[in-house]
Amino acid sequence: MTTAATSPSSKGELTRQSILDAAIVRFGRDGYRATSVADIARDAAVSGTAAYAHFPNKEALFLAALDEDAAAVISEGVLHLLDDSVASAEWHETLILTLVAAVDRHPLARRVIAGLEPDVTDRVIDIPAMLELRKTVAARLRADQAAGRVRPDIDASAIADGAVGIIVSLLMAVIQLGTAAVGVYGEGIWAIFTAALDPLPD
């Protein structure tokens, strides 16, 4: 969904965004196979011709809607990492909780993460917002290294990639298996983060 910083200005951009917003809701609720471009155009109060003027086919519309919805989820995680009030020892725990809460507000991202659209699940890994999340985690780690809160001998970029991989996997487990997954695996996962990040005792 759009934000104030990225709100479209021209009529064409507004129409495109209306179509994307309708696609996120409809694809999220009914899935790719059960949804037509005509359904989405009706929901967006535009003609089918207008929809095809912005998206060449249903697949292109679906992928654009998925990218938009998944990026909105990930952006909440990025904002969380930039929040200085979140303690360094807790960011990885609260990041997963932030993403779980965010995905509940984004129906298409939730559907894909839940495994209900298996042909495109891997696309979430490659969207630009995921790269931004990895960069932000790396920046957070470097800042914590400079402050002496994280081991100085680790490669922040490599650890960031691994950390995001673990967090996304846990997010998928929570969505597919329920919050019991955190209860079963959470403590062990936080222990891995502690072992990897905490400064070694003198």
Query: What's the pLDDT tens digit per position in 69-114?
Result: 999 999 988 887 777 666 666 777 788 888 888 999 999 999 999 9
Q: For residues 24-47, b (16+ Cβ closer than 10 Å) or e, as one string? A: bbbbbeeebeebebebbbebbebe
- What pTM was computed for the model? 0.82
Q: What is the mean pLDDT of residues 155-164?
A: 93
CB atoms within 10 A of CB 82: 11
Q: Percentage of residues in the chain with pLDDT exceeding 90?
A: 46
